[in-house]
Structure 1
Amino acid sequence: MQSDPELVTGDAVVLELRLARLASRALAFAIDIVVQAVVLLLIVLVITLAGVHDQALEIALSLTALVLVRVGYPVLFETLSGGRTLGKIMFGLRVVRDDGGPIRFRHALSRGLAGAIVDFGPAPVWSVVALVVSLCSAKSKRVGDYLAGTVVIQERADEVDAPLIVMPPALTYWAAQLELSGLSDELALASRQYLARYQQMRPEARDALGSELVNEMAGQITAPWWSPEVPPWAYLMAVLAERRNRIAGLPYGPFQRPS
């Protein structure tokens, strides 16, 4: 893996993320292809067992199923799981925006369509397009990534130290009043990863990204960032600690700066 100095946030500051290796992406893709093949085979079997005797209709249904599986599978999984398919989950990979933020449906759709039409095409040999483009890209991007403005990163938990999430004592009462039902799992994960990499990031990068995460989190939980004296990492730490405590019933821990 590598850290790409050109991966920047919307404020044009460097964000250090671990780019996925081409080999791990290829293996993840192979697993996804196997899953898609199994799903497609089951659909064709259902069509056959349904007793469709019109050959033209059978071909049309099969082609429709092929398109839906080939495009729908990555779009559905990457949208619902925040940038991951089954293959990516197995290898600890995730698709994120160029600025490090979580992808949306439009990003997943752009990648899915480009993957089916350009990168991998109608035949396995067509995968050479994705391979060549990825090898020529400093960020191992394929055509779909360029069109969607995304990049694939490595986020395997055992390769990034898990942050120690504890409740800042000064924010205990404030956090207890929060309504956290609107906090998404994707934003909570992004915040945990930010805290895990806090000491490894450049000061300007971590300040900018921390502010972005706080502003997005404040919008989801309707709790504005009320004081500039409270650093972004403390705000995020308090919210994540309160969320964890409500889910697991854990006691509050002593206040510590992320390390």
Structure 2
Amino acid sequence: MSDLVTGDAVVVDVQTAQLPVRVAAFLIDLLVQAVAMTLVVLVVTNSTTVADSSLAQALLILFVVLVFVGYPVLTETLTRGRTLGKLALGLRVVGDDGGPELFRQALFRALAGFVEIYAFSGGPAVICSLVSAKGKRLGDVFAGTMVISERGPRAVGPPPQMPPQLAGWAATLELSQLPEDLIHTARQYLTRRDDLSPAAEHEMGARIAARTIALVSPPPPPGVPPHAYLSAVLAERRRRHLDRLLRRAAARSAAHPHGPARSYGPAQPYPAVFAQPDGPAPPRTAAPPPASPGGFAPPL
């Protein structure tokens, strides 16, 4: 686990990606790039329009750059810090301030990675990752980024409580535009606000509350402090989420009141307990012993 300071000056707990997981994600991306490069080579070498060998070599160099540099830049920019390998293993590239990865940061990482990974067989990247406390390779150091694991455990504090005076107002809130990153930032602020000085606590709370007010309607009543407003928003969101879960469970129970029906195939007849009529079972009598060859029954 590592402490990361967001753009709102709130310290959050994140889990930095471990080197073996990053290597596995890189191998997945390398497989995708190798397949793309193989297709490019086959198209260029078998194309009848490319008769000049120098033109073919220029096209191959261009496609090498596009595949090994353009692929990570494009995917990490469009998916906010994830390639196919990182997506498969739950990794993401973020800035040192906790913000999403920018285009220039993805470009710096890709250019540095082409040198430290492909030109030097990954030696500088592995050494730097082992030395860095946050597992950064040289590209992360130059770009100001780090790779985190989104599937790792997070330290979760107690859920925010609804201020009683804001319960009626919170029931009318429109919360569909509230993003997950802002929710997590507000939750971390409420968890750690007692550790802050009063001035810093009020400044951070006002900043996070201002971002929340821009996405949530109606605005809070006049005079509500930022921490109370954020507590009401998060508590109401959690209450609605629990209500949805309870409604779905009730709907499933109503659809199957006795549980799933048990079926018996032709080779599996109903058990005898279901075939017997109601009432006491008839008494069982012992079968007579078989007769002897001479016609007389043996003595009991």
Judged with a 3 Å threshold, the aligned counterparts in structure 2 of structure 1 residues 236 and 196 are, in CA distance, closer, same or farther, namely closer
TM-score (norm 2): 0.62
**Structure 1 segment 146-157 matched on structure 2, within 5 A:** 146-156=141-151
Give yes or no for the alignment of 1:138 onto 2:133: yes
Q: Is the CA contact 1:95–1:150 (under 8 Å) kept in the aligned structure 2? A: yes
Structure 1 residue 154 displacement after superposition: 1.0
Provide the C-alpha distance between the structure 2 equivalents of 1:55 and 1:98, rounded to a whole number of angstroms: 46
Q: Which of the two has higher C-alpha Rg?
A: 2
Determine the structure 1 residue equivalent to 2:181. Answer: 190
Determine the structure 2 residue equivalent to 1:247. Answer: none
TM-score (norm 1): 0.70
Work out the number of aligned pairs and report it. 233
Structure 1 residue 46 displacement after superposition: 2.2
Q: Which amino acid aligns with 2:225?
A: P
SS of the residue corresponding to residue 16 of structure 1 reads strand
SS of the residue corresponding to residue 18 of structure 1 reads strand
The structure with the largest helix share of the pair is 1
Q: Is the CA contact 1:160–1:196 (under 8 Å) kept in the aligned structure 2? A: no
Q: From 73, 86, 103, give the equivalent of 1:88.
A: 86
Provide the C-alpha distance between the structure 1 equivalents of 2:24 and 2:148, rounded to a whole number of angstroms: 14
Output one character per residue of 1:199-233: Cα deviation in whole Å (capped at 9) or x when no partner.
8767558x7887665545555x4869754354435
Provide the C-alpha distance between the structure 2 equivalents of 1:69 and 1:240, rounded to a whole number of angstroms: 44
Provide the C-alpha distance between the structure 2 equivalents of 1:149 and 1:23, rounded to a whole number of angstroms: 21
Give yes or no for the alignment of 1:46 onto 2:43: yes
Provide the C-alpha distance between the structure 1 equivalents of 2:143 and 2:231, rounded to a whole number of angstroms: 30
**Structure 1 segment 103-118 matched on structure 2, within 5 A:** 103-117=101-115
SS of the residue corresponding to residue 93 of structure 2 reads strand
Q: Which amino acid aligns with 1:78?
A: E
Which structure exhibits the higher relative contact order, with contacts defined as CA atoms closer than 8 Å and separated by 6 or more residues?
A: 1
Output one character per residue of 1:14-68: Cα deviation in whole Å (capped at 9) or x when no partner.
3321111111111111111111111121222222333222111111111111111
**CA RMSD after TM alignment:** 4.0
Judged with a 3 Å threshold, the aligned counterparts in structure 2 of structure 1 residues 190 and 36 are, in CA distance, closer, same or farther, namely same
Provide the C-alpha distance between the structure 2 equivalents of 1:223 and 1:145, rounded to a whole number of angstroms: 39
Larger deviation, residues 210-219 vs 86-95: 210-219
Give yes or no for the alignment of 1:122 onto 2:119: yes
Give yes or no for the alignment of 1:31 onto 2:28: yes
Judged with a 3 Å threshold, the aligned counterparts in structure 2 of structure 1 residues 228 and 200 are, in CA distance, closer, same or farther, namely closer
SS of the residue corresponding to residue 15 of structure 1 reads strand
Structure 1 residue 3 displacement after superposition: 2.6
**Structure 1 segment 163-242 matched on structure 2, within 5 A:** 170-175=169-174, 180=177, 188-191=179-182, 193-194=184-185, 204=195, 215-216=210-211, 218=213, 221=215, 226=220, 227-229=224-226, 230-235=228-233
Provide the C-alpha distance between the structure 2 equivalents of 1:41 and 1:9, rounded to a whole number of angstroms: 42
Judged with a 3 Å threshold, the aligned counterparts in structure 2 of structure 1 residues 53 and 85 are, in CA distance, closer, same or farther, namely same
Q: Which amino acid aligns with 1:190?
A: D
